[in-house]
Amino acid sequence: MPAQPSPGHSDSHQTAARAEFRWALFVVGVIGLLLCIIAFTSLHWVLMPTQRVETVNPATLHLVGEFTEENLGSAVEPDGSVTVRIVGQQYTFMPPCILVPDKTPVRFRVTSADVIHGFIIADTNVNVMLEPGYISNFQATFRKPAMHVMPCHEFCGVGHAGMWARVKVIDKADFFRQAQNRRRLSCVQ
Ligand code: CUA
């Protein structure tokens, strides 16, 4: 005698089919949501202004351009703003003592001549990487006269632990007075 489906059989079959359908809808919904997120973030980035990446040839840093030795240190630009140019290389920063004014926005332009170095100024929020081939460009303002240490914080070779410099923040008026007599300032003795 053929097995008769029990009275509840077609019911449970329909329940299972409904559950499967609900889960399929849920999965389609999740996929749809993810596609929307991808579309939105792609559009968002496309509509952003292009990134400002400045490159420089690390092999000719010391020969041409803004990172030659006589251009390193702090400078007062024709418009009165302050720019500091620094080169990091195994295992020193040039110049090793950086002189900056207090209460003034200071533009830093820093690069590496060889490998990746870390650039951090203690007791401030300045913390960037120096990559050969690229210029790290940022602004910082120092509140009051102080001496900050500036250790390399990216392992860059056997001399890494000895790679550090100092940042000397001095009174604004004093800084601009010194800048009248010299094209580039530093606190290297
Ligand atoms: Cu330079 Cu570590």
Which ligand 1 atom is at minimum distance from the Cα of 115? 1
Q: Is the CB of 94 under 6 A from ligand 1?
A: no
Residues 70-113 pLDDT 10s: 999 999 999 989 999 999 999 999 999 999 999 999 999 999 99
Q: Which fold has domain 69-181?
A: Immunoglobulin-like (2.60.40)
What residues does each domain of the chain span? 10-49, 69-181
Residue 150 in contact with ligand 1 by CB distance below 6 A? no
Distance in angstroms (rounded) separating the CA atoms of residues 105 and 101: 9
How far does CA 10 lie from the centroid of its chain?
A: 64
On the question of pLDDT at 189 being above 80, the answer is no
Instruction: Judge if pTM exceeds 0.85.
Output: no
Residue owning the nearest CA to atom 1 of ligand 1: 117
Q: Provide the β-strand partners of residue 83.
A: 75, 107
* Positive/negative CA dihedral, 62, 64, 70, 74: negative
Q: Is 165 in the pocket of ligand 1 (CB under 6 A)?
A: no
Query: Ligand 1 within 6 A of 131 CB?
Result: no
Strand partners, 166: 97, 149
